[in-house]
Structure 1
Amino acid sequence: MFFVDTIETPGLGNRSYLAGGARSAVVVDPPRDMDRVIAAAAVRGVRIVAVAETHLHNDYVTGGLELARVTGAAYLVPAAAAVSFARTPVADGDTAPVDGDLALRALATPGHTPHHMAYVLEEDGHAVAAFTGGSLLIGGVGRPDLVEPRLTGALARAQYTSVRRLADELDDAVEVLPTHGFGSFCSSSRAEGTSSTIGAERIRNAALVEDVDTFVAGLLAGLDDVPAYYAHMGPVNAAGPPSIDLTPPARAEAPDIARRLAAGEWVVDLRSRVAFAKGHVAGSFNFEGEGQLATYLAWLIPWGRPVTLLAGTADELAHAQRELARVGVGRPVAAATGGPEAWVSGPEELRTFPRASFADLASARERGEDLVVLDVRRTAERGDGAITGSVHIPVHALPGRLDEVPPGVVWVHCAGGMRAAIAASLLDAAGREVVAVDDGFDAATAAGLTVSAPRSPTGPGPAAA
């Protein structure tokens, strides 16, 4: 009898898997904080005999090399992946024993990357589960544009072929267990649902119901922005990531925080956007500890810039440090817990700004207030509708484009409030008067604001960026 345990990393939209039998198990696409995997194996009472990577990941730092070293397990990496460390190279059709009559079979599935490999868990020679990495996802596929722009078209077609190969070789009842697709930017679309089978994907997955030209055209047209930090993940994983360090950073006192801000370092406040707006250290940035902290902080921060973390509690701080380590953000140089009054030397170093709804924005416009509406959603989101007269700068581009925000009080919004809070903190740190719209975008129309599709990237009205 076999088992498959899922190890969630919701902040990145990824899953890792521990699968095996009564005595031993294999780990597929482990996270960098591999202590979670070791704990899961301990609960099962199994020994990890193999660690398998479906591909060199572009969205997070793997814990595979360190996990294999610590456990003595074989480290299975696609043979075509160019790496700088010793591993067990895996080619199409290779098998690895797991436990008794359980084995892992490799299937070459290029598309997400040229060297991508899926792994099929077989029990007594029969497929029971497919670890599909970034190839076949739930209701979609992994994006093909993260390796090299000149390869994107060819990889899109390879993705189509690979997904069809999985469907051709596996029975309908085989469970589909992807690494990406639960909010990950490695997915080419937003997946619906949390579980699937080969049979279910035959009915709904575009790669299995459309012809190749239609599929490729739709896949390429739907590709969204790529987080900037992705450019660093592949090289780190190919070189062999260093061991993770989750020891607490040095304690930051108020003078330390002021000194680091003056030096141009990033001071990041992890508290809720509500608490941050009520009072925060002047010059600090707000990235809420819950949600997609790792994605957006790693996306915006200049790579390698020292970061100091501010949090309400030690637990919140430890959680954030773990999240950031997963995407290769360097260990925080300092940290502090408590509240903003303890992080400054005087009240003059504290700032506040108001939060508002779309109804408040509509009222301010009716009163004729001198204001700027700044939309910080991604371009693909804005294409579904935008507030007439709004300025568009995606939040990930805002640090380098602050001078493009017109004069006036800046009312900044996104789709739900989190990214607006990030943008508001960036603007506030730059000395702008800002109002953070903490509201769902659906409320804009109900509030009486005119919402329409952008006319053109360069024409009047809302413009895509």
Structure 2
Amino acid sequence: MITVLPIETPGLGDRTYLAHDGSTALVVDPQRDYDRVTALAEAAGVRITHVFETHIHNDYVTGGLALARETGAQYLVNTDDEVSYERTGIRDGDIVEVGAMRVRVIHTPGHTHTHLSFALEAGGEQIAVFTGGSLLYGSTGRPDLLGPDHTDTLVRAQWRSAHRLAKELPDSTAVYPTHGFGSFCSATQSAGLSSTIGEEKKTNSALTADEEAYVEQLLAGLDAYPTYYAHMGPANSRGPGKPDLSAPSVADPAELRRRIEAGEWVVDLRDRTAFAAGHLAGSLNFGLDGQFVTYLGWLIPWGTPVTLLGETAEDVAEAQREMVRIGIDRPAAMATGGPEAWAGGEPLAAYERATFDDLKAALDKSPDGGEEFVVLDVRRNQERDEAHIPGSVHIPVHEVPDRLGEIPAGRVWVHCAGGYRAGVVAALLDARGRDVVAVDDSFDSALDLGLCRADETP
């Protein structure tokens, strides 16, 4: 019996897979912190002999090379990928025997030019296909990550790749993508957690629409993606080593203040409610309760030292694990406890939280905003296009650090769609001395209150 075990990385919206026959195992697209994979293999009592990469990833640093070296497994990467390490080169049509399993390599360009999918067979039966960033649940991987010169070629290749998989594999074949669970590598997001080729034929636009309609629809739906992606491909081509997850050195209040004054990032990992109520002045807030590493990696000037503030050492360790997944290998320092201890007796900073009801009341008192306050919308462009609050200033969250000078003077009421991004930006503005109010509420409330209309043109 063949068992396929997914390993979730919800902070990045990705999955790794361990497949085994009871004694021998293969791994597909392992994350940098591959100790999760070896622990799962040990619990199952299986030996990892092969590690497969569907592509040179854009959204995380792979653990594939280090995992293969540690376990003595073959590391299988497309022969045509230019990498700086020894690997077992594979290409379209190759067959790889792994214990009782048989893996057929299928070239599925679209997310990248050299992207591969892996069809898993056993006992003459087609069981599954690992599709990486090709065929996702209800969608496909985005084709624009290699730059505009490649997008048109790749989006059309993606459509053809999806049709090839649908044609060559039985409807009963389970589909196991790497992306699509919140990853910005997905063209659109899907709530699906499992699927088959047959189900995708009915629901996936790549398989239900003709090529031109698919291309038009997919390209129209693309929005910004994290800037740290630019560093992932080169890191993966060089060959990442084993991550160092040992605890960083502990910083006292004087060191924390020195790091803040030097322009380093001191990041509070508590949730946005606790942070707003009281925090170390000058610190930033990327709570572990949201897409911590996606937004940290997106906003930080790459290479800036990061110090982590967590209520517990376990919180710091969790954040550190997420950071190594995108190549931020070592925090500069850490501190645990709470803001009173971190501040060393200095006064804590704080700012207000509010709802859209509160914002409506403020707008009713001052309809034009004017010099009294500004409403800052930090959602992405597509969200803004669907509905917005008239008179609000729009700066997507990832553009705020470079566009601070565009935010008018006065109190800033900052909102997003649910509160997490607003909290990130409120902390950033507060650290720079701005008077802020973080709107911690669902944007649906703004619609219900008549603050905007869903059909309004920005």
Q: Which amino acid aligns with 1:391?
A: V
Q: Name the structure 2 match of 1:430.
A: 432
Q: Name the structure 2 match of 1:245.
A: 244
Q: In the alignment, which of 405, 409, 414 is matched to residue 412 of structure 1? A: 414
Secondary structure of 1:97 counterpart: strand
1:55-94 aligned at under 5 Å gives the runs: 55-94=55-94
Find the aligned partners of 1:67 and 1:242 in 2 and give their Cα distance.
9
Q: Which amino acid aligns with 1:104?
A: V
Structure 1 range deviating more: 58-67 or 215-224: 215-224
Deviation at 1:446, TM superposition (A): 2.2
Secondary structure of 1:426 counterpart: helix
Deviation at 1:205, TM superposition (A): 0.6
TM-score (norm 2): 0.98
Secondary structure of 2:443 counterpart: coil
1:372-391 aligned at under 5 Å gives the runs: 372-391=374-393
Deviation at 1:219, TM superposition (A): 1.0
1:135 aligns with 2:143: no
Q: 1:317-343 CA distances to partner (integer Å, 9 max, x unpaired)?
A: 110000111011131010001000001
1:203-222 aligned at under 5 Å gives the runs: 203-222=202-221
Find the aligned partners of 2:413 and 2:290 in 1 and give their Cα distance.
23
Secondary structure of 1:224 counterpart: coil
1:269 aligns with 2:290: no
Deviation at 1:99, TM superposition (A): 1.4
Q: Name the structure 2 match of 1:444.
A: 446
Q: Name the structure 2 match of 1:52.
A: 52
Q: 1:30-51 CA distances to partner (integer Å, 9 max, x unpaired)?
A: 0100000000101110000100
The answer to whether the 8 A contact 1:382-1:453 is kept is: no
In structure 2, stretches of 5+ residues that fail to align are: none
Deviation at 1:180, TM superposition (A): 0.1
The answer to whether the 8 A contact 2:49-2:98 is kept is: yes
Q: Name the structure 1 match of 2:286.
A: 287
Find the aligned partners of 1:345 and 1:297 in 2 and give their Cα distance.
26
In structure 1, stretches of 5+ residues that fail to align are: 456-461
1:145 aligns with 2:147: no
The answer to whether the 8 A contact 2:243-2:329 is kept is: no
Q: Which amino acid aligns with 1:87?
A: R
Q: Name the structure 2 match of 1:297.
A: 296
TM-score (norm 1): 0.96
Find the aligned partners of 2:4 and 2:98 in 1 and give their Cα distance.
12
Q: Which amino acid aligns with 2:16?
A: S
Q: 1:278-297 CA distances to partner (integer Å, 9 max, x unpaired)?
A: 00111111000122111000
Q: Name the structure 2 match of 1:393.
A: 395
Deviation at 1:231, TM superposition (A): 0.2
Q: 1:346-375 CA distances to partner (integer Å, 9 max, x unpaired)?
A: 333x20000000000000111226210000
1:158-173 aligned at under 5 Å gives the runs: 158-173=157-172
* Root mean square deviation of aligned Cα: 1.0
Find the aligned partners of 1:365 and 1:336 in 2 and give their Cα distance.
40
Find the aligned partners of 2:293 and 2:330 in 1 and give their Cα distance.
13
Structure 1 range deviating more: 129-138 or 364-373: 364-373
Structure 1 range deviating more: 142-151 or 177-186: 142-151
Q: Which amino acid aligns with 1:199?
A: G
The answer to whether the 8 A contact 2:266-2:307 is kept is: yes
The answer to whether the 8 A contact 1:388-1:452 is kept is: no
Structure 1 range deviating more: 446-455 or 202-211: 446-455
Q: Which amino acid aligns with 2:50?
A: A
Secondary structure of 1:4 counterpart: strand
Q: Which amino acid aligns with 2:434?
A: R
Q: Name the structure 1 match of 2:189.
A: 190
Structure 1 range deviating more: 91-100 or 245-254: 91-100
Q: Which amino acid aligns with 2:394?
A: H
Deviation at 1:452, TM superposition (A): 5.3
The answer to whether the 8 A contact 1:30-1:62 is kept is: yes
Find the aligned partners of 2:259 and 2:26 in 1 and give their Cα distance.
44
Q: 1:41-62 CA distances to partner (integer Å, 9 max, x unpaired)?
A: 0111000010000000000000
Q: Name the structure 1 match of 2:29.
A: 29
Q: 1:128-162 CA distances to partner (integer Å, 9 max, x unpaired)?
A: 10000000000000000111320100000000000
